[in-house]
Structure 1
Amino acid sequence: MSTLAERLRELRGQLTQLALGRVLGVSVPLISSWERGAVPPPERLNDYARYFAQAKPGPKLPRLGELSGDEHQAYEKLRRDLNRLRGSVEDEPEVPHPLRFPPGQAITIVSSELPGFIREQFGDVSKPQGPDYVDAYKYADLDALIELLSFVRGMNPSNPTLVGVPRELSTDDLTAAHLIVLGGVDFNEVTEAVMDDLSHVPVKQLRRATFQDTGAFSVAWADGRRSEFVPKLLPDQHGTSLREDVAQYLRAPNPYNRERTLSFFNGMYSRGSYGVVRALTDPEIHRRNATYVDRRFRGADTYSIVCRVKIVANEVVVPDWTVDDIRLHEWPEVERDRSGGAAIQ
């Protein structure tokens, strides 16, 4: 019986590692490492299966919907075989991932921008005239942006991806692309505009009156109740530490072009934004959360999850949306029918 590495070399055949890397959106050293025994993540094996299931593989990775009936059967068989060799048999069909977009379609990541009075504290590296100027210091949620950008590009290798703060982006950047908006109303004016456009979603982020305030997410329940979810801050020997943030993941049609999507990741603090991004990018959690989203919101074009982001030993714990206590509010809500069953509102 062949090993996974041998099977990957066999599939590549006469195709160069460079050509395959371009199709999959990965580097030649990474392809080489997989063919020498390193273990690819399951989503990469699914990409292998989609590509080599084609009767005549071309220069691009096809969508599942672009495969013929015979090719789709070949894809399912090859995907199971590769995952079996990897040691993770997956008999269920591939679950759609919220951050996988149709090939070739543009993606724009709109990041929050740090205010000038905060950037000034970084010294010369934040000043354009300085010899050691670092442009990336303008981003308010840099950890979340780095995590998100690498994952989105890896999952969508043929999609042009643009990153910028609101002042840098044109109307075309917002209307012609799948929008991914990162960060809250305090530092991201696109977030504020989008939330106004999505007024039917019963979740609002409350602005912080001062920089010292925690802010909150306000939600309106279907039964008329209102709740405010606030971060948990505790005093310690260094001042105040964040013990638990509150964050929102929202998916909707792009309000400026309904043929594209909007994905919204926002915590009250930067680590909340990072945690809710990791919910859909972390290698151990993202497939589980993507499966939960697919099953819970199937058929809904607009949905929202407000969740806890716990901080333990100063490290972000990735939210697991399958745990009831982690989810604070979901919309559309689930209501109980008279027989005791659950029905989506």
Structure 2
Amino acid sequence: MSPVQSPRPALAHRLRALRETQWPEAGITQAQLAQALGGARPLSISLISSWENTDKPVAPPNRRLEAYATLFATRRSLDGAALRVLPVDQLTDEERARRDELLQELMWLREGGGFVPPGSATDIWTFDADQNITIVCARLPEKYRAHLSYADPDSADFVSLYTYADPDALIELFGHIRSRNPENNVKFCTSDELAADDYTSHLVLLGGVDFNSVTRTVIERVKLPVQQVPRKADAEHGGFLVEENGDSKLFEPKLDSREHLLEDVAHFYRDESPFNRKRTVTVCNGMYGRGTLGAVRALTDVRFRDRNTAYVRERFGDLESFSIISRVPVVGGQGLTPDWTLEENRLHEWPEAAG
């Protein structure tokens, strides 16, 4: 596991990340933040810079952290002519809950919490600087890409991403991990392109055992009471089989009589890597693509990632290994982000609650 960083650099890193990556398209500057936090008496840009300086950080007073939490609790802070901090009594119930979670996190960092190692972190996708991260997808089987000229290397129109399974999950996760780890080398490849040294980096595996051979290899090497039952051509849709205390249960996707997907099943699994105990392996998997995307978005979707991360931290504590199987409802053909704080969305959790 990675060493815990000292608290104030961790807080400085988080404050900068809020400004730069919470709403990256807004391009919030230190000057805009100084104006918003100061209100009628704008703060100096140098003060904001000192709070974000990880080399020689200055911890903001509690009332400024309260303002940070209020501002970044709602996208409505961007409405109007200038960035602004809304009055707390104008926040919706959801925004107030988000504010409380964020304020708790910032105060925790200020008082010495630091970064917890990946697996139970403030942000589970934040890794120590200079550690390589490799996202591994399956290559889409030939029968599914044979008719696509864009997937043919001999075609002038060839685009390599058309040969990837789960490209929507890949795009979602690659962008998020890059934004959280700007100093790290983050790469993605298909399972057949994985180099020897990639195995000993932080591994993030997208997709299941039927297509992704690396997922299959990892699952065979770890102690996890969850197995994926692959889909079959004879209308068997497979599922995730859990075996505990002599009992077994299969969690299956739901389809209607016309084979339209109504609900997928997502599996998120984090553990110490079997190839390098100082690195992690993470599996984001589903029985169909919308399940895999749901497993990813549970911890990247801005509307749900903080509450789901807080749930993981509360539920599993500082455990290195944990697994969550959840529902992914499909509405209008779109998979919805699972909210792990709702009991009905969590189908299975492993291991038992920490402590």
Same fold (TM over 0.5): yes
Is 1:231 aligned to residue 253 of structure 2?
yes
- CA drift at 1:206: 1.3
Q: In 2 relative to 1, CA 227–105 (structure 1 residues): closer, same or farther, beyond 3 Å?
A: same
Q: For 2:30 and 2:289, how far apart are their aligned partners in 1?
A: 34
Is 1:316 aligned to residue 312 of structure 2?
no
Asked whether the 8 Å contact 1:218–1:228 carries over to 2, the reply is: yes
Asked whether the 8 Å contact 2:271–2:322 carries over to 1, the reply is: yes
Asked whether the 8 Å contact 2:50–2:58 carries over to 1, the reply is: no
Q: For 1:277 and 1:131, how far apart are their aligned partners in 2?
A: 33
Of 122, 125, 129, the match for 1:96: 122
- Determine the structure 1 residue equivalent to 2:144: 118
More strand, by proportion: 1
- Determine the structure 2 residue equivalent to 1:216: 239
- Determine the structure 1 residue equivalent to 2:207: 183
Q: In 2 relative to 1, CA 187–30 (structure 1 residues): closer, same or farther, beyond 3 Å?
A: same
- Determine the structure 2 residue equivalent to 1:16: none
SS across alignment from 1:213 = coil
SS across alignment from 1:309 = strand
TM-score (norm 2): 0.73
- Determine the structure 2 residue equivalent to 1:150: 175
Match runs of 1:223-302 below 5 Å = 223-236=245-258, 240-302=259-321
SS across alignment from 2:60 = helix
What amino acid is aligned across from residue 92 of structure 1 in structure 2? Q
- CA drift at 1:325: 0.8
- CA drift at 1:333: 2.6
- Determine the structure 1 residue equivalent to 2:227: 204
Q: For 1:76 and 1:181, how far apart are their aligned partners in 2?
A: 39
Asked whether the 8 Å contact 1:53–1:78 carries over to 2, the reply is: no
Q: Deviations over 1:89-127 (max 9, x none)?
A: 6431246111111122111001121101111122x1111
Is 1:31 aligned to residue 31 of structure 2?
no
Q: For 2:316 and 2:131, how far apart are their aligned partners in 1?
A: 23
Q: For 1:112 and 1:52, how far apart are their aligned partners in 2?
A: 44
TM-score (norm 1): 0.75
Is 1:105 aligned to residue 131 of structure 2?
yes
Q: Percent identity?
A: 36
What amino acid is aligned across from residue 162 of structure 1 in structure 2? K
- Determine the structure 2 residue equivalent to 1:172: 197
- CA drift at 1:169: 1.3
Q: Deviations over 1:131-152 (max 9, x none)?
A: 1111101111011111111111
Asked whether the 8 Å contact 2:254–2:261 carries over to 1, the reply is: yes
- CA drift at 1:299: 2.2
SS across alignment from 1:93 = helix
SS across alignment from 1:273 = helix
Q: In 2 relative to 1, CA 247–213 (structure 1 residues): closer, same or farther, beyond 3 Å?
A: same
- CA drift at 1:245: 0.7
What is the aligned-residue RMSD (CA, Å)?
A: 3.1
Q: For 1:269 and 1:244, how far apart are their aligned partners in 2?
A: 10
What amino acid is aligned across from residue 201 of structure 1 in structure 2? L
Q: In 2 relative to 1, CA 29–288 (structure 1 residues): closer, same or farther, beyond 3 Å?
A: closer
Q: For 1:254 and 1:50, how far apart are their aligned partners in 2?
A: 38
Match runs of 1:45-64 below 5 Å = 52-53=50-51, 57=53, 62=54
Asked whether the 8 Å contact 1:96–1:290 carries over to 2, the reply is: yes
Is 1:80 aligned to residue 66 of structure 2?
yes
SS across alignment from 1:74 = coil
